[in-house]
A and B are shown apart, each in its own frame.
Chain A
Amino acid sequence: MTPRALPLIPVAAVAALVAAWAATPAADAARLLQGSDVVASAAAAAACLAAGAAFSPGDHLWRAWILQSLSWLALAAAVLLGGVAATAGGAMTPLHAAALVATNATGLASLAFFAAVLWKADLGFTASTAERLAVWAAAAVVALAFAGVVLMSDLAQAITTGSLRDVIFVIADSTDLLIFLLTAPILLVALGVRGGALAWIWGLAAAGNLGWILVDAASGSLGDRLDPAQARLLAHTGTAAAAWCWAAAALAQRRVARGG
Chain B
Amino acid sequence: MSAPHPADVLRDLVARYLGPNTARNALKTFSERTFGRPAESLGAPEVLRLAEALRPMLRTLLGAGQAEVLLETVRKELA
Contacts and interface: CB of A to CB of B under 8 A. Distances in A.
A and B: interacting chains: yes
User: Would you call the interface of chain B mostly helix, strand, loop, or mixed?
Assistant: helix
A134 to B, nearest CB: 17
Interface residues of A, number: 26
Contacts of A129: none
B45 interface: no
A193 B22 contact: yes
Interface in A60-80: 60-62
Interface in B1-45: 15-23, 25-26, 29
B66 to A, nearest CB: 6
Interface residues of B, number: 23
A199 interface: yes
Nearest to A59: B63
Interface of B: 15-23, 25-26, 29, 56-57, 59-66, 69
10 interchain residue pairs of minimum CB distance: A195-B19, A196-B19, A121-B60, A55-B63, A59-B63, A121-B57, A196-B18, A193-B19, A120-B60, A196-B17
24 contacts: A54-B63, A55-B63, A56-B64, A59-B59, A59-B64, A60-B59, A60-B60, A61-B61, A117-B60, A121-B56, A121-B57, A122-B56, A123-B22, A125-B25, A192-B18, A193-B18, A194-B19, A196-B20, A197-B16, A197-B17, A198-B61, A257-B63, A257-B65, A257-B66
